[in-house]
């Protein structure tokens, strides 16, 4: 799932040394795997308090602007305090807890623990290698491969599996999409669509919205996130590319059902390809507002491997 990259940090180096892996991402997975195995947890999201206490950390949910915070403690029964934003959805809280536990697992952090403040988690921000690897740990803590892959295999590589797995493993739909593609069991992609403007319209809105006569252009469904695996990784689905109002994707917005069928999708450079798609609306509460959001599973064939 993750592209090969050059690593520079002491954190990445020490993760490799500690695990015998050449790739820090694989190393971070091993660190998370060891922890969930030591605690003998098959569904860690249901017992994150136990997992945290194994790292001598206690969890506290508080009112805060940030997603999470890790505070080293001295002279108490615990070595760390993990503070989590109490207003976040449970799946998001779970990921943030996993991320903060991830910090405690980083070998160089353990040598000299210092406070970590995370305005957001699950950003997969490659600029900070430690933050990126903590997201890797969080995903593996919530969705241990040894449990997640057989479960996915039994559910089938279809859109219904997304919500089933998210529920089972206590992870968000986006984290679950990543987990599904990371498992690499087939050739498919998951595209997340949200309503929005194209870049130039956004810029225009910033300058013109102060004039009364300015009328905002209608928003369209646009690609926000893409997760892919297998042969589907050969296709590039451009970011923020819109889809027509009559498309199967936009139709899913007005339905409780899964909308299936062949659909042309943009693959960049002005080209389109025909794919078999399954789309379902999963609205998202953001800043107190309910926002529409569509998840599409994109396949090369309409013969989708279903549950066994």
> Are the C-beta atoms of residues 67 and 119 closer than 8 Å to each other?
yes
Q: Is 230 exposed, middle or buried (0-12, 13-18, 19+ CB in 10 A)?
A: middle
Residue 102 Cβ vs Zn ion, minimum distance, rounded to whole Å: 7
Residue 66 Cβ vs Zn ion, minimum distance, rounded to whole Å: 10
CB closer to Zn ion, 60 vs 257: 60
Nearest to 148 by CA among 244, 67, 19, 32: 32
CB closer to Zn ion, 19 vs 104: 104
Q: Which chain residues interact with Zn ion by CB under 5 A? A: 116, 118, 131, 134
CB closer to Zn ion, 130 vs 174: 130
CB closer to Zn ion, 44 vs 68: 68
Q: Which residues, in sequence order, are bridge partners of residue 61?
A: 84
Residue 91 Cβ vs Zn ion, minimum distance, rounded to whole Å: 18
Residue 109 Cβ vs Zn ion, minimum distance, rounded to whole Å: 10
Q: Which residues, in sequence order, are bridge partners of residue 136?
A: none
Residue 125 Cβ vs Zn ion, minimum distance, rounded to whole Å: 9
Instruction: Give me the phi and psi of 57, to 5 degrees please.
Output: -120, 145
CB closer to Zn ion, 131 vs 187: 131
CB closer to Zn ion, 125 vs 154: 125
CB closer to Zn ion, 118 vs 187: 118
CB closer to Zn ion, 134 vs 162: 134
Residue 266 Cβ vs Zn ion, minimum distance, rounded to whole Å: 34
Residue 166 Cβ vs Zn ion, minimum distance, rounded to whole Å: 23
Residue nearest to Zn ion (CB): 118
Residue 141 Cβ vs Zn ion, minimum distance, rounded to whole Å: 14
């Amino acid at each position: 799932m993750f592209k090969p990259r050059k690593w520079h940090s002491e954190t990445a180096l020490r993760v490799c040394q500690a695990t015998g892996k050449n790739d820090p991402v694989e190393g971070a997975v091993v660190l998370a795997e060891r922890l969930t195995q030591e605690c003998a947890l098959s569904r860690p999201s249901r017992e994150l308090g136990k997992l945290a206490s194994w790292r001598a950390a206690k969890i506290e949910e508080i009112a805060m602007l940030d997603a999470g915070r890790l505070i080293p403690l001295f002279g108490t029964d615990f070595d760390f305090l993990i503070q989590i934003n109490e207003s976040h959805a449970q799946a998001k809280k779970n990921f943030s807890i996993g991320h903060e536990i991830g910090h405690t697992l980083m070998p160089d952090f353990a040598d000299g623990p210092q406070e970590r403040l995370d305005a957001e988690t699950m950003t997969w921000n490659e600029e900070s290698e430690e933050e990126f690897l903590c997201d890797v740990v969080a995903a593996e803590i919530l969705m241990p491969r040894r449990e997640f892959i057989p479960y996915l295999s039994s559910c089938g590589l279809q859109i219904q599996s997304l919500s089933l797995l998210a529920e089972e493993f206590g992870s968000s739909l986006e984290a679950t999409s990543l987990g599904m593609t990371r498992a690499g069991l087939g050739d498919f992609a998951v595209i997340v669509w949200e309503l929005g403007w194209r870049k130039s319209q956004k810029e225009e809105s910033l300058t013109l919205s102060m004039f009364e006569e300015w009328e905002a252009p209608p928003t369209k469904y646009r690609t926000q996130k893409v997760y892919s695996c297998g042969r589907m990784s050969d296709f590039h689905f451009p970011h923020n590319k819109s889809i027509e109002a009559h498309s199967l994707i936009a139709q899913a917005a007005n339905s409780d059902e899964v909308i299936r069928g062949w659909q042309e999708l943009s693959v960049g450079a002005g080209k389109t390809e025909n794919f078999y798609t399954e789309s379902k609306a999963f609205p998202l509460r953001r800043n107190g507002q309910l926002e529409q959001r569509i998840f599409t599973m994109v396949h090369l064939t309409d013969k989708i491997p279903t549950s066994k």
